C-alpha cells in the first residue's frame, strides 16, 4: 500500500511557510508579493532538485512533472489571505510534493504519470478577482478583466504581472496547458467543523457549492430622530434588519444552505437621524441550486415587504452567480477506494467554499478533493491547525488515488 513520509510532509510544510511567516504564528503571502513569489521560487527549486521537470505557464502557475504527460496532477495554491494560517493552500502543495517524492522513490507503477500544479492568486484578496490561475487554465479569464483589475493600493494588476515577467495579454494562453492534465486532485483543510463533529480525520468532497451574491440598496428618508412622528418615518435600516433575520430563519429551515448579510451600512447615518439610505450584501450558498433560488425569493421578498411597509424603495442587483461544481464520479471512486485501502470510511461532503477545482471541473477536467479535519473548524486565521496524523492520512489517500488513476490512464492510452 502506498504511504507517504509524514515527517518529510511536515518539514515541507515548514519550508513553504518560511516566507511570509508572522510572529503571531500565522503567515501572510498575498498573491504576487515578495513572500508569495519567494514561496513559489522555493517550490520550483525544490522540485528541480528532485529531478522533476518544472515550468511556469503564461498565468504564473507552476507545474512539475515526473516524466510522462498527460499526468494526474495534484496541487493547490501558495498565496494566502492577510494574517492567514499555515495550512490553507500550503498543505495541498506540501502533500503534492511529498506524494511525488514517495511515489518516485518506491518506483510504483504509475509514479511517472504524476505531476504537481500550483495555482496563482487563488484567494483574490489583492486584486479582487481570485482564482486567476485556474480560471486562465479553464479558459475563463479575459485579458480585459486582468487589465481593469487594480490592487487595494491602486496599482494595476497588469503592472504587477509585468514586473514578474508575466505578459497580461498572454495569460489566457495558459489554457493550452489543459492537454497536460488528465485529472486534478487537491488535498485541502476542511475550513469547517463537519469532520470534527463526525469524528472523522478526512472527508471526500462531492462538489463545490453554487453561490449567489446580491447587493441591495434601500432608500427611505433621512429626518430628525426626535421630531419625526413614528407614522411619518421612512426608515431605510428596517428592511436590512429584516433581511438579516430572514436569512437566519431560512438557514434554520433548509438543510445544506447558508445565507449571510455580511456587509451592511447606513449611509450618512448619525445618532439623531432616521436612516435615509442603507446598503447591504447577501451571500447564499448550497449544493442545491433550487434551494438557493427559494432562499433568494424568501429573503428578498421579506426585505421588499419591509421596504413597502416603511415607505422605502428597494433596489436589488445580482452581482455574482456561480453554478455548483460537482466533482467527477470516477475520481471520487478512486478516492473512495484509496480511503478503504487505508482503512478509513471517509464521509462525503460538499465544499462550502470555492476552490480552484471548481473552474477545472467546469472546463471538463476530472476533479476530486480530499478534506482534512480542521481544529475547531478555524481557517483564514493563524489559529488554523490540522494534526500531523490527519494530514498524513489525507496525503496518503490522495497519493493512492492518484496512482490508481495514473494506472487507468496508462491502460487507456
Ligand atoms: Zn485554499
Along the chain (413 residues), what's the average pLDDT of each consecutive run of 10 residues?
A: 96 97 95 96 97 97 96 98 97 98 94 97 89 95 89 89 94 95 97 96 96 97 96 98 98 95 95 97 96 98 98 97 94 97 93 94 96 96 97 98 93 74
pTM, to two decimals: 0.90
Q: How far is the CA of 221 from the centre of ligand 1 (A)?
A: 43
Q: How far is the CA of 218 from the centre of ligand 1 (A)?
A: 35
Return d(Cα 351, Cα 344) in angstroms, integer: 20
The 8-class DSSP code of residue 21 comes to B
Q: How far is the CA of 246 from the centre of ligand 1 (A)?
A: 30
Angstrom distances, CA of residue 304 to CA of 185, 214, 230, 253, 344 = 44, 14, 20, 20, 49
Q: How far is the CA of 85 from the centre of ligand 1 (A)?
A: 10
Q: How far is the CA of 89 from the centre of ligand 1 (A)?
A: 4
Domains and CATH numbers, the chain: 6-208+324-412 (3.40.630.10), 210-321 (3.30.70.360)
CA 385 to chain CA mean position, Å = 17
Which of 122, 136, 108, 129 shows the shortest CA–CA distance to 188? Answer: 122
- For position 345, what pLDDT does the model report? 86
- For position 413, what pLDDT does the model report? 67
Amino acid at each position: 500500500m502506498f504511504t507517504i513520509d509524514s515527517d518529510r510532509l511536515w518539514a515541507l510544510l515548514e519550508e513553504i511557510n518560511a516566507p511570509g511567516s508572522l510572529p503571531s504564528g500565522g503567515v501572510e503571502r498575498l498573491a504576487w508579493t515578495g513572500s508569495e513569489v519567494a514561496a513559489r521560487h522555493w517550490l520550483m527549486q525544490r522540485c528541480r532538485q528532485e529531478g522533476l521537470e518544472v515550468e511556469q505557464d503564461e498565468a504564473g502557475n507552476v507545474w512539475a512533472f515526473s516524466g510522462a504527460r498527460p499526468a494526474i496532477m495534484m496541487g493547490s495554491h501558495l498565496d494566502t489571505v492577510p494574517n492567514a494560517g499555515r495550512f490553507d493552500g500550503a498543505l495541498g502543495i506540501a502533500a503534492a510534493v511529498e506524494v511525488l517524492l514517495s511515489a518516485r522513490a518506491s518506483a510504483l507503477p504509475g509514479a511517472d504519470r504524476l505531476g504537481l500544479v500550483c495555482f496563482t492568486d487563488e484567494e483574490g484578496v489583492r486584486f479582487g478577482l481570485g482564482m486567476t490561475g485556474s480560471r486562465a487554465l479553464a479558459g475563463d479569464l479575459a485579458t480585459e478583466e486582468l487589465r481593469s483589475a487594480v490592487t487595494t493600493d491602486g496599482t494595476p494588476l497588469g503592472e504587477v504581472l509585468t514586473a514578474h515577467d508575466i505578459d497580461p495579454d498572454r495569460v489566457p494562453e495558459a489554457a493550452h496547458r489543459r492537454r497536460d492534465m488528465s485529472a486534478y486532485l487537491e488535498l485541502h483543510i476542511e475550513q469547517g467543523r463537519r469532520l470534527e463533529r463526525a469524528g472523522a480525520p478526512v472527508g471526500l468532497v462531492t462538489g463545490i457549492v453554487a453561490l449567489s451574491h446580491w447587493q441591495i440598496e434601500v432608500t427611505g428618508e433621512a429626518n430628525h430622530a426626535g421630531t419625526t412622528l413614528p407614522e411619518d418615518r421612512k426608515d431605510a435600516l428596517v428592511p436590512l434588519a429584516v433581511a438579516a433575520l430572514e436569512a437566519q430563519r431560512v438557514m434554520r429551515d433548509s438543510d445544506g444552505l447558508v445565507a449571510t448579510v455580511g456587509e451592511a451600512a447606513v449611509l450618512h447615518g448619525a445618532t439623531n437621524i432616521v436612516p435615509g439610505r442603507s446598503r447591504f450584501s447577501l451571500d447564499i450558498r448550497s449544493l442545491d441550486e433550487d434551494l438557493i433560488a427559494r432562499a433568494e425569493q424568501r429573503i428578498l421578498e421579506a426585505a421588499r415587504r419591509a421596504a413597502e411597509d416603511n415607505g422605502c424603495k428597494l433596489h436589488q442587483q445580482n452581482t455574482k452567480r456561480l453554478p455548483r461544481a460537482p466533482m467527477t464520479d470516477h475520481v471520487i471512486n478512486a478516492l473512495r477506494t484509496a480511503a478503504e485501502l487505508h482503512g478509513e470510511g471517509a464521509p462525503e461532503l460538499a465544499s462550502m467554499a470555492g476552490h480552484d477545482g471548481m473552474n477545472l471541473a467546469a472546463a471538463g477536467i476530472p476533479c476530486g478533493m480530499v478534506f482534512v479535519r480542521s481544529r475547531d473548524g478555524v481557517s483564514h486565521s493563524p489559529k488554523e491547525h490540522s494534526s500531523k496524523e490527519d494530514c498524513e492520512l489525507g496525503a496518503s489517500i490522495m497519493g493512492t488515488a492518484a496512482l490508481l488513476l495514473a494506472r487507468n490512464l496508462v491502460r487507456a492510452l
